[in-house]
Copies of this chain bind each other. A is one copy, B any other.
């Protein structure tokens, strides 16, 4: 299927016209795709603000589903709680349903979903089928307490979950009531299952996009791709914040999660097409367990609208239409998303969005819901930045306005700019030399940190400092030392960052000892050495290193060099004008007055 067939747009029918359908439709026109929606709110649905092609009707109504599918090239969903049987019938009559009714049928029922993944060697928390109160009781014995009781179908945003803390008839009845089950007859069939309690370090999520043409040998493009792993931060089981890339886990764990997510979606086989939200737990021992999967664009992937080359909504359309998948790479180093929930008044609800309109890296995505109810998802705000700290400064304000406590975050926000350059020295007696480097960093507004790290007196600190430097965000280390002067070389041996060495002048050998110690490093471990005692040049060298990939800083350095030239030119003009005798006399006077 190519992008545009003749003059006619490609027609997609979407079951559901909420915010996810709406956001798909904001991407559709530029790909020459025309969408039609079915939604119970009809012309009051979020999608209806983006098109007139919205039919009012229940997502369970087979006749209505048939109606929107009639002229469609592809039928898709924006929610899994739909009449899957009606979609299966459409498929049987030759209609192109993506993802397929079979896949939707597996995912829609959380118990079947978990069973599927276990059968495909994907680790999930322990779980049991609990069709009766008796089964709940034995699950509580087998899996222990507390026990999560979950509705097999229809749950979302925490609805359909209850925690069982005691294995008693009363506690079970109370939990069932929470799940909306009032018929507690011992013989009544329960549409529930139970999950063992998992202690986890954080919840993460990965969006996976899989083409409807996966498995077709004629396809030249990659047919399954994942977006980067994110922290999915929940409050009362509703997604409130997403941080990208995920924090508090290593790059290895992030990669493990991305591979697991792709494996899970690929295991669903033919018909597993479109975008999938894959939610996972990371345990304290860095194991990654699959929590659950959604067969559609997902709240944890909204950040892709402003932070990735091709966002989840466009990629969903591409995938279900068999078009080449778009790049899932980030265009920025850091991003975050905050959900805007309905508050007690419209004014309070709008506070975060209106604040975001004045923030440089923030984008407001309002859903246009007909009514604002407390706790309802009214929109979201994406934040992008050149660094985590840039994102976090905006995030701090938005979290406060959205009444989200900081304690929910996996790690504290970085609300001050992290140091890019570390200035260290063997002893405080080196500070009068090293202060010139610090002065340069101040002048160029480069964030820095200063510390005393002695190779010989604090070898443990030396190791800890060097090994953690890159992880903490440092990009250059300036190290000053005199005499045996081992510090710069030892630091260089324990980091992959560039190290600038400043040979401090000594009384015995005038710093030649320091210079040789620092510059004559063995093959494999370089130290960028500057002149004896010239910490100013070390600062300038660090700025030049950073400036190479920062156009504004490069311009600043060019300006600095120009000013240096002009200063010398001024002096030379003065010398020529005054003549060398008068100039020399003035120099002598100045030196005297300095000496007084």
A29 and B3 contact, Cβ closer than 8 Å, known pairs A519-B519, A526-B537, A529-B528: no
Closest residue on chain B to residue A498 by CB atoms: B544
A310 beta carbon closer than 8 Å to chain B: yes
List residues of A (32-91) whose CB comes within 8 Å of B's CBs. Answer: 32, 34, 49-52
- Contact, CB under 8 Å: A548 / B7: no
- Contact, CB under 8 Å: A372 / B310: no
- Among A310, A528, A545, residue most surrounded by chain B Cβ atoms (within 10 Å): A528
A403 beta carbon closer than 8 Å to chain B: no
* Cβ of A517 to closest chain B Cβ, rounded Å: 11
A6 beta carbon closer than 8 Å to chain B: yes
A366 and B30 contact, Cβ closer than 8 Å, known pairs A2-B354, A496-B561: yes
- Contact, CB under 8 Å: B531 / A530: no
> How distant is the Cα of A531 from the Cα of B370 in the complex, in angstroms?
70
Which chain B positions have C-beta within 8 A of A538?
526
- Contact, CB under 8 Å: A360 / B497: no
Name A520's contact: one of B6, B50, B531 (CB within 8 Å). B531
Q: How many copies does the complex hold?
A: 2
- Contact, CB under 8 Å: B526 / A366: no
A31 beta carbon closer than 8 Å to chain B: yes
A523 beta carbon closer than 8 Å to chain B: yes
A564 beta carbon closer than 8 Å to chain B: yes
Which chain B positions have C-beta within 8 A of A29?
22, 26, 49-50, 366, 368
**What is the interface size of chain A, counting residues whose CB is below 8 A from a CB of the partner?**
93
A353 beta carbon closer than 8 Å to chain B: yes
Closest residue on chain B to residue A523 by CB atoms: B536
- Contact, CB under 8 Å: A544 / B526: yes
* Cβ of A141 to closest chain B Cβ, rounded Å: 46
Closest residue on chain B to residue A307 by CB atoms: B331
Which chain B positions have C-beta within 8 A of A309?
360-361, 363, 384
Q: What 5 pairs between A and B have smallest CB-CB spacing?
A: A528-B528, A52-B52, A526-B537, A475-B548, A496-B557
Residues of chain A whose beta carbon lies under 8 Å from any beta carbon of chain B: 2-4, 6-7, 9, 22, 26, 29-32, 34, 49-52, 220-221, 251, 309-310, 318, 323-324, 326-327, 329, 331-332, 346, 350, 353-354, 357-358, 360-361, 363-366, 368, 370-372, 379, 384, 436, 470, 475-476, 493, 496-500, 515, 519-532, 534, 536-538, 540-541, 544-549, 551, 554-555, 557-558, 560-561, 564
- 16 A-B contact pairs sorted by A residue (CB < 8 Å): A2-B354, A3-B364, A4-B346, A9-B368, A26-B29, A31-B364, A32-B366, A50-B51, A309-B384, A310-B363, A493-B561, A496-B557, A497-B544, A498-B548, A519-B530, A523-B536
List 5 other contacts, CB 8 Å, given A31-B366, A475-B549, A498-B545. Answer: A32-B368, A220-B358, A309-B363, A523-B534, A545-B548
